[in-house]
Structure 1
């Protein structure tokens, strides 16, 4: 089982709380590092100074202040330090252009946030089970980017 942190880029405090509750309700105790805008997400993953967050998974909303989620994704994929970090877009947008652009920029998955908390818990369980228990995690040490 992968116990590395999850980086949650989400500007809605209610959605951050719901995501934390959904992970807990599903028995996942990975630390969740929440950032409220795209700039903070980039700073956490690609800091100019100091250590970077090394998450098992990034959950990325595309509607973020300061730097939009799709721009964040493009920057993550263009940097060798974060090129292979799993990124799941978790957003309310069902716009085909957003879905297409997310995949074009290198998202590993695109998931629309359900309105119902019960359904959201199920979606989080599915995502967390796959990315933290089923999927073979990327090597973190001893491998050149």
Structure 2
């Protein structure tokens, strides 16, 4: 049986950050499908669409990369809603943000984040982070 495509959903309102992350995943040769939404409202539209039986879209994401600083709903509001939902709480959520605040880290884990990563300041470090994410979440962790 062929291995299914590993799907990552990036939730980030900054088009430059989305582009850099997509390029970093490509550069790191991480075998995944990277989708994105731009804000905390769009994520639930995306997830609901993927739950529809008549949808042409394959599946829910295997992993969500979530920025904290977004318009409409911030990352903590999104994380809280995801982890309260019986339909979505099983999806691992990694906070990927510019913050390094210990308060932000604690709050993210308290709300159910699987990991907290501060966005690297250089592209080469971002590529390294995507390699590590791919290695761990795709090659090591078991999913059904």
Q: CA deviation at 1:34?
A: 0.9
1:130 and 2:136 are equivalent in the alignment: yes
- Specify the alignment match of 2:64 in structure 1: 58
- Specify the alignment match of 1:92 in structure 2: 98
Q: Give unpaired runs (5+ residues) of structure 2.
A: none
- Specify the alignment match of 1:36 in structure 2: 38
**2:41 alignment partner, SS class:** helix
TM-score by length of structure 2 reads 0.88
- Specify the alignment match of 1:22 in structure 2: 24
* Segment of structure 1 superposing worse, 6-15 or 24-33: 24-33
What RMSD over aligned residues (CA atoms) do the two structures have, in Å?
1.9
* Structure 2 contact 69–75 (Cα < 8 Å) conserved: yes
Q: CA deviation at 1:43?
A: 1.8
Q: Give unpaired runs (5+ residues) of structure 1.
A: 140-145
* Structure 1 contact 88–110 (Cα < 8 Å) conserved: yes
**2:95 alignment partner, SS class:** strand
Distance 1:88 1:122 in 2: 16
1:46 to 1:70, Cα distance in 2 relative to 1, 3 A = farther
TM-score by length of structure 1 reads 0.87
Q: Which aligned segments of 4 or more residues in structure 1 are displaced greater than 4 angstroms? A: none
Distance 2:5 2:30 in 1: 8
